[in-house]
Amino acid sequence: MKIIQLQLYVLICCQAAVADQLTDLGSNVSINCDLDENEVYWILLKTPDPPTVILRSLQTPLPPFYPNKTFRKKYSVQFKHCLVINNVTVDELGVYYCMNTDTPPKFSNGSRLYFNESTRLTECHNHTVIQSTHQNQTQCQIIITISSLMIGLLLIVLIGLLKVIVVGNRRSAEESQLYTDLQQMQVIQNQELLQYTEVNFTCVKIFTQPSQINRTHSALKLLKS
């Protein structure tokens, strides 16, 4: 493949003339092929890169063939082998040739696509702005990610503290309630003991009275006799 690219490069440099074609950034450009052929290849030469085959233009109404599918959005064919470049950027600058599919190959005159100086400066500035914006977005994403992680950790810590406080308060309340219940049970038991003692004392008092009466009655009998 490299040998074929080198042969194409030599043939292009030796056979074809080049005409300059000025264009603006973002515009659409049409490049005519001056070969009277049924099928041609469109080739882009960007030094020091090897020649790149963009597409193969077939007889109408057949659509062109693209060796690289990424070229479909950028390049198309109109009329008889007229190459159309959509939304020109710096990547599309270079010299364009059309070449027949027969052997030996025959090339058309080349069309060198270029921008004026103001357009080049604007493109460079836009490229710098895009890179700076991309870097800023990356830094912002990193900062947002770190902040989210810190906030998440803080929330976990706060939730843990709240659980500890709630559990501690609940245990304190349960212990206080248990202590209060024990005190109430002790008071109730003491009251029951007091009531039981008082009842027994009353019973003893009631049962001792008849004996005293009997002893008094016996004593009186002895005195009378």
Q: Helix, strand, or coil here: 54?
A: strand
pLDDT at 92: 93
DSSP track, 28-69: -EEE------SSEEEEEE-TTSPPEEEEEE-STTSPPB-SSG
Average pLDDT, the chain: 78
Mean pLDDT value across residues 3-29: 71
Q: Rounded to an integer, what distance in angstroms lies between the CA atom of residue 98 and that of residue 32?
A: 9
- Asked whether the predicted pLDDT for residue 104 surpasses 70, the reply is yes
Q: How confident is the model at residue 3 (pLDDT cuts 50, 70, 90)?
A: very low
Q: How confident is the model at residue 87 (pLDDT cuts 50, 70, 90)?
A: very high
Residue type, 210: P
pLDDT at 44: 94
pLDDT at 199: 47
- Asked whether the predicted pLDDT for residue 163 surpasses 70, the reply is yes
Min mean pLDDT across 46-60, 87-101, 154-168, 192-206 is at 192-206
Question: What count of other Cβ atoms lies within 10 Å of the Cβ of residue 6?
Answer: 12
pLDDT at 71: 94
Q: How confident is the model at residue 14 (pLDDT cuts 50, 70, 90)?
A: low
Contact in structure between 77 and 65 (CB atoms under 8 Å): no
Mean pLDDT value across residues 116-145: 68
Percent of the chain residues past pLDDT 70, beyond the cut: 69
Mean pLDDT value across residues 134-141: 76
Contact in structure between 29 and 88 (CB atoms under 8 Å): yes
54 phi, psi to nearest 5 deg: -85, -50
Q: How confident is the model at residue 201 (pLDDT cuts 50, 70, 90)?
A: very low
Q: How confident is the model at residue 59 (pLDDT cuts 50, 70, 90)?
A: confident
Domain parsing of the chain, residue ranges? 2-115
Range with top average pLDDT, 9-23, 32-46, 137-151, 189-203: 32-46
- Asked whether the predicted pLDDT for residue 51 surpasses 60, the reply is yes
Mean pLDDT value across residues 192-203: 54
- Asked whether the predicted pLDDT for residue 67 surpasses 90, the reply is yes
Mean pLDDT value across residues 36-43: 91
- The top-level CATH class assigned to 2-115 is mainly beta
